[in-house]
Amino acid sequence: MLTLLKLLQDGRFHSGQSLGAALGVSRSAVWKQLQQLEAELNLPIYKVRGRGYRLQRPLSLLDQESLNRSDCPWPSVVLDSIDSTNAEVMRRISAGYIPPFAVAAERQTAGRGRRGRHWVSPYAENLYYSLALRIDGGARQLEGLSLVIGLAVLATLRSFGVTGVGLKWPNDLLVNNRKIAGILLELVGDPADICNVIVGIGINANMLVANEDIGQPWTSMAAEVPGLVDRTALAVRLGQYLGDYLVRHRDEGFPALRAEWEAGHLWQGARVNLIAGAQTITGIVLGIDSTGALRLSVCGEERAYSGGELSLRLSDDS
């Protein structure tokens, strides 16, 4: 079925006869596979007598060989369908795989965002990417790590021509207050000694159709810069920027990247509500500190917040 999808990914019409010849099967077998594609992957297929079959929209499938070219900073594997790329990385670490390595997928059936939210993952539309990192040297190497990952994602999006994109503390990227990417970090091991960090990154690449399961305003690269995004090129570029920023973070520490992060933060100086469980704290964003904690002016007093299940929202009177 994947071979058939590769033949159709250009979005052009292909006759049943030519598809059958390429697959070495009958036209009726092609028809059955097309029905299976529609049912299992929710990919609408147009059927026109005399012209053949085509996808409703072209696809950009991930190419594992390109992801593993010589200048990529770590090995990568591409899976057709998985519950969650983060979960798969955890399983591979448990099975003895040595970080760094990355897992990408065409689809997630149980993708996860921060605070246990479901991450909508339609087939071959967006980038679902998780990176395993080994962290030596204790908690200092973890300071500001999620924010450093955000800088790498920001640089990646800007390199593809996405304008107006910026950071939202701690782990989101927005365009016009609509989410275009998110980051989820999960820790395995002892943060005071040696541990593994799973860096999950979701980037809305080619998604254009609204999904009722998305509970917040969103946008995508294709919505901001019309045209089909090459998801393999996106993953390769992301890996390169991640490699560069992780080296800087390791060698220089987060304080060296603090000013750059603040320059990309969309809500600098904004009046916000910080939600921590049942508590809501209203203040003015001053920036971040040397560990990546959020600095707020609350009733004229500066306070810093980090860790836990924190959520930041613009205040109604901002």
**Binding annotation for biotin:** 84-86, 108, 112-114, 179
Catalytic residue among 92, 107, 114, 231: 114
Q: Look at residues 30, 42, 43 and name the one whose alpha carbon lies nearest to residue 3.
A: 30
Peptide bond into 100 cis (omega under 30): yes
Instruction: Number of helices (H) and strands (E) in the chain: give both, helices first.
Output: 9, 14
- Cβ atoms of residues 2 and 9 within 8 Å: no
Active site (annotated) includes residue 69: no
Catalytic residue among 92, 168, 179, 231: 179
Token digits of residue 206? 């080619």
Task: Please report, in range form, the residues annotated as the binding site.
Answer: 84-86, 108, 112-114, 179
Cβ atoms within 10 A of the Cβ of 161, count? 10
**What phi and psi values does residue 146 have, to the nearest 5 degrees?**
-65, -35
Cβ atoms within 10 A of the Cβ of 204, count? 27
Cβ atoms within 10 A of the Cβ of 207, count? 22
Q: Residue 202 forms beta bridges with which residues?
A: 128, 182
The C-alpha atoms of residue 318 and residue 303 are separated, in whole angstroms, by 19
Active site (annotated) includes residue 313: yes
The C-alpha atoms of residue 48 and residue 298 are separated, in whole angstroms, by 63
HSE of 111, CA atoms in CB hemisphere, 13 A: 26
Active site (annotated) includes residue 140: no
Q: Which residues participate in catalysis according to the annotation?
A: 114, 179, 313
